[in-house]
């Protein structure tokens, strides 16, 4: 996969940008707050239809502007494609693939595959279950628009059910809840199955990568921890969910939220059999996060048959030499976008085919090194 050109208008601190990129390594360098992450975010936005930093699209529009634009020309194994996002204050964003407006954002999934590395990746290991669910959801969504739709519908039904639970007027009867219970169980069982499948695949790949990074000293495994326990078949999970939703309904009404379902699930990351979140050293946690992200690259390659675009936001300063080299090794046949405040640390690494761009106050200029 290859991004050939990026256009921005009134997006973050960019008034207007039209730039072509190199096939290999694109390094964005510059002082803090100049717009480096903004470029990576724009690429991520075209891949997933949302920012990795915010869920509020209006924040992406340049201050005091009524609307903004992000456009990408890319090559994937389908040929030449374009993705465009049009943002307007007070309106939903519009997404276009090859100039045709998408009726649903899900139509965007898979056109452009990215894997983002950022200093916040550590929260994948250390953070809340929500962050690990988000990681899985984004990964599966990029590879399956059907999953993305199921997840969207699940979240909508969950919100509706919670609204009924919170209804102080007590207008609900168990009859209304029953409709939501059925829908939630149907969608929730599909989500659980897919997430478990993805976790198992990731676990196998991450195990091998981690073994290599730790010189065969550490064994990484990832397990999906489902609210539905060890049930694996969609039908069994459906039955379990229906039963628990009905059983817990009085408690749910008292609390005003739904206590059963994949919105409560988590993934457990273990090194040599111990939970890294609780027992891992800082270095082990960092390495586990890196192994997981590197597995994402391998997975996209396997499922899509082509390499994803890598977005490396200020990660090199966080990694020791050995891990820097491993990351570079993993990027071999990927187009990369890397942000850093100084290119000095990169000079020691073995990166080939590099173009450096200097980012100054919402402008990007190619720079010779």
Ligand X SMILES: Nc1ncnc2c1ncn2[C@@H]1O[C@H](COP(=O)(O)OP(=O)(O)OP(=O)(O)O)[C@@H](O)[C@H]1O
Gyration radius of the chain's alpha carbons: 22
> Per CB under 6 A, does 29 bind ligand X?
no
The DSSP output letter for 305 is S
The nearest distance, CB 36 to ligand X, in angstroms, is: 4
The nearest distance, CB 117 to ligand X, in angstroms, is: 14
End-to-end Cα, the chain, rounded Å:
26
Binding residues among 74-93 for ligand X as defined by CB under 6 A: none
13 touches, from Mg ion, ligand X, none (C-beta below 5 to 8 Å by class): ligand X
Give the residues across from 224 on adjacent strands. Answer: 267
The whole-angstrom separation of Cα 139 and Cα 270 is: 20
Residue pair 135/128 in contact by the 8 Å Cβ criterion:
no
Q: Give the one residue of 3, 26, 29, 36 binding ligand X; rule: CB under 6 A.
A: 36
Sort 24 into a burial class: Cβ within 10 Å, 0-12 / 13-18 / 19+: middle
Give the residues across from 29 on adjacent strands. Answer: 340, 358
The whole-angstrom separation of Cα 186 and Cα 271 is: 34
The whole-angstrom separation of Cα 292 and Cα 289 is: 5
Residue found under tokens 């207007």: 16
12 touches, from ligand X, Mg ion, none (C-beta below 5 to 8 Å by class): ligand X
Instruction: Kindly report the number of other CB atoms within 10 A of residue 56's CB atom.
Output: 9
> Per CB under 6 A, does 37 bind ligand X?
yes
Closer Cβ to ligand X, 248 or 355, answer by number? 355
Tell me which stretch binds ligand X (CB under 6 A): 57-65, 79-87, 222-230, 239-247.
57-65
Binding site for Mg ion (CB under 5 A): 37
Q: How big is the chain, counted in residues?
A: 369
Sort 281 into a burial class: Cβ within 10 Å, 0-12 / 13-18 / 19+: exposed
356 touches, from ligand X, Mg ion, none (C-beta below 5 to 8 Å by class): none
The nearest distance, CB 197 to ligand X, in angstroms, is: 35
Closer Cβ to Mg ion, 114 or 258, answer by number? 114
Closer Cβ to Mg ion, 37 or 199, answer by number? 37
The nearest distance, CB 340 to ligand X, in angstroms, is: 8
Binding residues among 274-333 for ligand X as defined by CB under 6 A: 314
The whole-angstrom separation of Cα 334 and Cα 310 is: 7
The whole-angstrom separation of Cα 122 and Cα 245 is: 34
> Per CB under 6 A, does 155 bind ligand X?
no
Q: Give the one residue of 5, 20, 33, 333 binding ligand X; rule: CB under 6 A.
A: 33
> Per CB under 6 A, does 55 bind ligand X?
no
> Per CB under 6 A, does 62 bind ligand X?
yes
62 touches, from ligand X, Mg ion, none (C-beta below 5 to 8 Å by class): ligand X
Q: Give the one residue of 15, 18, 59, 243 binding ligand X; rule: CB under 6 A.
A: 59
> Per CB under 6 A, does 38 bind ligand X?
yes
Identify the three-state secondary structure at position 117.
Answer: strand
The footprint of ligand X (CB under 6 A) covers: 12-13, 30, 32-38, 59, 61-63, 314, 339, 341, 359
């Amino acid at each position: 996969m290859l991004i050939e050109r990026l256009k921005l208008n009134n997006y973050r601190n960019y008034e207007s940008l039209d730039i072509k990129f190199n096939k290999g390594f694109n390094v964005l360098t510059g002082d803090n707050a100049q717009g480096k992450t903004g470029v990576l975010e724009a690429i991520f936005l075209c891949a997933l239809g949302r920012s990795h930093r915010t869920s509020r699209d209006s924040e992406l529009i340049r201050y005091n502007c009524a609307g903004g634009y992000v456009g990408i020309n890319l090559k994937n194994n389908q040929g030449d494609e374009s993705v465009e996002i049009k943002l307007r204050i007070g309106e939903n964003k519009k997404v276009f693939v090859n100039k045709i407006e998408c009726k649903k954002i899900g139509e965007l999934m898979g056109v452009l595959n990215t894997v983002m590395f950022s200093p916040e990746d550590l929260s994948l290991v250390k953070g809340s279950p929500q962050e690990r669910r988000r990681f899985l959801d984004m990964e599966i969504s990029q590879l399956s628009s059907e999953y993305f739709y199921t997840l969207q519908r699940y979240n909508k039904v969950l919100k509706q059910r919670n609204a009924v639970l919170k209804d102080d007027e007590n207008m609900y009867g168990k009859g209304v809840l029953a409709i939501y219970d059925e829908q939630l169980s149907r969608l929730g069982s599909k989500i659980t199955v897919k997430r478990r499948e993805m976790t198992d695949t990731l676990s196998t790949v991450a195990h091998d990568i981690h073994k290599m990074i730790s010189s065969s000293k550490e064994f990484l495994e990832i397990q999906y921890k489902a609210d539905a326990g060890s049930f694996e078949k969609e039908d069994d999970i459906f039955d379990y969910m229906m039963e628990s939703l009905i059983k817990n309904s009085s408690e749910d009404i008292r609390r005003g939220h739904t206590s059963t379902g994949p919105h409560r699930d988590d993934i457990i990351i273990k090194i040599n059999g111990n939970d890294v979140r609780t027992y891992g050293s800082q270095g082990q946690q960092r390495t586990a996060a890196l192994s997981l992200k590197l597995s994402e690259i391998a997975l996209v390659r396997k499922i899509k048959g082509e390499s994803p675009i890598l977005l490396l936001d200020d990660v090199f300063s966080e990694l020791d030499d050995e891990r820097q080299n491993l990351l570079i090794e993993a990027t071999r046949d990927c187009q990369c976008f890397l942000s850093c405040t100084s290119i000095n640390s990169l000079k020691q690494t073995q990166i080939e085919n590099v173009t450096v761009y200097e980012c100054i106050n919402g402008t990007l200029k190619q720079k010779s090194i």
